[in-house]
């Protein structure tokens, strides 16, 4: 690779916000928060909303989302366009 043109690719710990599960991987993302990992090293910590640990597709659980009224809410907010 050409030096100086690629972003810094370093180890980062991601944490699922809903389950608390953490995993270590590599990323270009940066964070001011850090966490001490099992190996004794300190890594940047990024908290994310959904990971494979909590995503309905991977867990097999479906959450029932209230879809009633979405179209009405959209029409109230933006109205029907006049031509």
Instruction: Report the predicted TM-score, pTM, of the whole model to 2 decimal places.
Output: 0.63
pLDDT in tens, 26-80: 999 999 999 999 999 999 999 988 887 877 665 666 655 556 677 778 888 887 7
What is the reported pLDDT for 63? 58
The answer to whether the beta carbons of residues 45 and 35 sit under 8 Å apart is yes
What is the reported pLDDT for 83? 61
pLDDT in tens, 7-28: 889 999 999 988 889 999 999 9
The answer to whether the beta carbons of residues 33 and 44 sit under 8 Å apart is yes
What is the reported pLDDT for 4? 86
Neighbouring C-beta atoms of residue 71, cutoff 10 Å: 9
């Amino acid at each position: 690779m050409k030096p100086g043109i690629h972003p810094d690719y370093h180890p980062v710990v991601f944490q699922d916000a809903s389950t608390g599960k953490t995993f270590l991987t590599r990323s270009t993302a940066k964070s001011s928060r850090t966490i001490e990992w099992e190996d004794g090293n300190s890594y940047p910590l990024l908290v994310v909303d959904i990971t494979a640990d909590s995503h309905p597709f991977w867990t097999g659980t479906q959450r029932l989302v209230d879809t009633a009224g979405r179209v009405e809410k959209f029409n109230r907010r933006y109205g029907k366009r006049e031509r």
